[in-house]
Amino acid sequence: MGYPTKLLNDEEQIVLDMHPHWRIFLGPGLLLLVALAVLVVIAAVVQPDEQLLTILAAVPLAVGVVWFAWRYTVWRTTHFVVTTDRVIYRSGVVSKSGQNIPLERINNVAFSQTVLERLLRVGDLVIESAGETGRQTFDDVANPSRVENRIYAEMERAQARDATRAGRAGISVADELTKLEDLRRRGVIDEAEFAAQKARLLS
C-alpha cells in the first residue's frame, strides 16, 4: 500500500515511496523455518501416545507466525517518502508518529553501511537539517546511496523552481536576503536556518 496522496500538498508529487528493507523479516523467517523443520521431524518419529511432545514443538512455530505477522504489519505501515517538496517518514501500527523535513532546510545527506549491509543493499540514512529536527537517522533504508542521490536531485530541482518563481515575481536576491534578515531579527528562524537559506539564495 502506497503513501496516501491525499496527505500531499497542492502540486506536490511523490518521487520515492519506500517501506523498510526486507531484512526485517530475517529473524521471524529463520525461526519459522527452524520451528517447522523441528515439528516435522518430531511428528514423524514420536509415538501416538507422545503427542504432547508434538504440541510443545508447535509452540515455536506459532511464535514465529505471530512474529512474522507483526513484522509484516510494521513493514506495511512504515513509509519513507521523498516528494518534490520534502522528506516524509511515517510509522506506527496503533499509534502513529511522523516527521516532515522540507527540502530547503536540508543541509546534508549521508549514509552508512557495514560490509554485510552492502551485500544486502541496505543501510542507515542520515539527514541533517536546519531548525528543530537537526540530525535524523533512518534505519533499514533500501539502496541508501540511491536515495541520497535522489534527495539531492530533488533539492536542486526545488531550488531551480524557487529561483524561477522569484524571477517571475520580480523578487531580487537582495530583497530575499532582506526578508531573511528580518525573520532572523524577529526570531522566526534561527541562525542555522538563516545561514542555510542565505547559502541557497547566493548559490
Q: What pLDDT digit, counting tens, does each position of 20-36 carry? A: 999 999 999 999 999 88
119 Cβ contact list (under 8 Å, min separation 6):
none
Please provide the DSSP assignment of 104-171 as one string. GGEEEEEEE--HHHHHHTEEEEEEEESSSS-EEEEEEEESHHHHHHHHHHHHHHHHHHHHHHHHHTT-
Fold of 11-19+81-169: PH-domain like (2.30.29)
* Residue 6 pLDDT exceeds 60: yes
What are the sequence ranges of the domains in the chain? 11-19+81-169, 24-75, 172-203
Read off the pLDDT band of 114 (50, 70, 90): very high
Q: Average the pLDDT over 37-59 and give the result.
A: 76
What pTM does this model have? 0.72
Q: Residue 121: pLDDT above 90?
A: yes
**57 against 138, higher pLDDT:** 138
CA distance linking residue 197 with residue 109, whole number of Å: 17
